[in-house]
Amino acid sequence: MKSLEGGRFQTTDSNGQIIEYSATRKGKRQEARGKSLLQKRFSLYQCPNFNA
């Protein structure tokens, strides 16, 4: 997990793809970009480890 400017974070998924997240006001991470709509829908059934 890499912290970027503006409350954004970068991490890599199990496929080695870089995913960028932005922190919302509620403190939750929101996926900014890096995955298609189908992958986002599929990721709802996964429990990613953000601390990896």
Residue 51 within a domain: no
In a domain, 25, yes or no: yes
Give the confidence band of 20 by pLDDT, cuts at 50, 70, 90. confident
Domain boundaries, position 35:
2-43
Q: Cβ distance 34 to 20 under 8 Å? A: yes
Residues in the chain: 52
Q: What are phi and psi of 7, to 5 degrees?
A: 70, 25
Domain count within the chain: 1
Average pLDDT, the chain: 63
pLDDT at 12 over 70: yes
| Domain-located, residue 30 | yes
Q: What pTM value is reported for the model?
A: 0.30
State the first-to-last Cα distance of the chain, in angstroms, to the nearest integer: 7
